[in-house]
Chain A
């Protein structure tokens, strides 16, 4: 980074140079540094970073002048906040009522068996996370899974497992390729 770059990040972005902080700062500014904005600020933090690390919580606490205990209390109360980064690929299994009666459990079991993780966990290589949702609201298409943001309806355990295996092995190959390159 040249001196000029450094100077421009100071003016346009966050001092750390991490652009993602800009979104947080913008939200804080929008609410005029009001403490009431805590939830909104956490929402935009989660959105731009993908998870809430300890450092980020401290950052929010300092910026809003809200005690860390309160920030932590609020953050852990709501389900949408996560505290660890997700895997490269993420499969969300809907556990809504309609999906439940149409066999969502079998889908979770199939994926859990295949990758040897429980729901809510990420594989040790960081390639795949298996998560669940309360209801994604596409009940007419039950059972529903969301694979890397792509909603797939009327899913079966076999079909989704082989699809996930496919994309995970692609990522593995890519990683191996990169390692060779180095």
Chain B
């Protein structure tokens, strides 16, 4: 099918959606599902059906993340006549109240055919639901579940990657098309040469969102210039950082966006096949990406002659089996080849010799998801967001001791305190902010004095942390920093693949030293030992895992040294529970 055909599909879907007076969106992303969104969703659907009103009074839409995950399940009611309302903590009971409030209870025509419209309940259940709805109408207190949409949590964000999550049904290609989906791909195929695409991405200033921040356009150009018949594109969805779920959300809630970015990159570099490597722990993401691939194949977006052009490309999924190191590109390639996911020495970089020794582009999910927006709005638009060296936006998974936790997207360069206090709402209760941890086990802790720092790649690494893939965990004064450092070291000991000695042995020794210090048996020279060993592991490990494994220790030693010293004198660190 060509793009004109896709456009028609999108327009048809848009017209269908516009027939509804109101649309009730229910988040069915993993976080909300964990909080009970499955029940909320089915209650919404069934009670809307039971209303038996005009068919176009309301539609219940299964959608993706709306951001404020700690108030999940989230439900948003959009209507032509009223303002949009967002509800949080939607239990089945609240779901009934929402329907009772927004959807008129129509009159049942006793003689009508029972299954006269698409229904999710058996006729037998209708009286039961109608009775529940009548009762719910009289119940009060629904206001408590309303979340004001003018909170700084929402207004301070700038959405590019997440612009459509929470607005479209991820399992429906037509919905993506109705929101301008695959427009960028069509534009690229018809009007741009591969070189122009690469240069557009270079001009946008987009850098890899997996953590290291390598300029994406530059990487594409390397692969494009390789003269090899077979080239590959890999989307890295092996998001292993504990406390981070940005990539999962994008894959779950806007899978076609990832696919579109991937196909554009394949066109730009001349690849004919690609893999999406997804963590095995993400069953919903796997399912939705799989659905997206199937839908795209059916409509000629994947396969021979994409959108009736001369370009052919197909993609498949590879499922990771739980190894943190597979986020490293050469380890990931080995894993796709069915081997142990161990990294190898670079160069050669995957751009010259990657998957099965063919030139390969590897980009993170979020990086790929930026691409359609850049093509649609132009490189200038994108490079206007962010700072001089870090362009665009960054998605963070905000977690830990904060009032508002969830998934946010902010412009690069936003000061850390705005994220923590305006968006996150600050530390709840009597506790005080102690540190912000970015970058997971490869990152570091940033203390209070540095909260004015604008968040971008350079500034974070200057502080001894890294941008990382986007985990941002806030800890309060109840957490002991040496203990926190040991938590990450435990992780690295477990996840070290064992190939190079500095990482395999070094991380174990670092943990032993931390154990010794935390148990109160540390000697003053142990801190120096810790310092030296950190630097050794950092400078001599083979891959990013080992090179960054000491970061949590280095940064906590730097900013919270008194806590370590207090332990040396076998005293408790700054009185934990009595503060």
Contact = CB atoms under 8 A, between A and B. Distances in A.
A101 B473 contact: yes
A43 B319 contact: yes
A141 B35 contact: yes
A78 B323 contact: yes
Contact of A133 (B70, B281, B282, B473): B281
Interface in A22-51: 35-40, 42-43, 46
Interface string A68-83: 0000011001111100
B242 interface: yes
Contacts of A137: 30-31, 244-245, 248, 281-282
Contacts of A140: 31, 68-70, 72, 399, 405-406
A134 B324 contact: yes
A9 B242 CA distance: 45
Interface string B307-329: 00000000000111111100000
B35 A153 contact: yes
Categorize the interface residue count of chain A: 35 or more
Given A97-B473, A140-B69, A153-B35, A74 B243 contact: no
B475 interface: yes
Contact of B397 (A80, A139, A151): A139
Interface in B351-367: none
Contacts of B372: none
Nearest to A46: B321
Interface string B228-240: 0000000000001
B509 to A, nearest CB: 22
Contacts of A36: 336-338
Contacts of A138: 30-31, 34-35, 69, 245
B338 A40 contact: yes
A98 B321 contact: no
A119 interface: no
B31 A77 contact: no
Nearest to A150: B34
A140 B37 CA distance: 14
A135 interface: yes
A153 B399 CA distance: 13
B31 A74 contact: no
A142 interface: yes
B323 A79 contact: yes
A39 B318 CA distance: 9
Contacts of B241: 135
A122 interface: no
Contacts of B440: 97
A78 B240 CA distance: 13
Contacts of B471: 97
Interface string B118-153: 000000000000000000000000000000000000
Closest 10 CB pairs of A and B: A140-B69, A78-B321, A97-B243, A79-B322, A139-B399, A151-B34, A96-B242, A98-B399, A135-B242, A137-B245
Given A100-B242, A153-B35, 11 more contacts: A40-B318, A78-B320, A96-B243, A98-B399, A98-B400, A100-B484, A101-B400, A137-B282, A138-B69, A139-B405, A142-B400
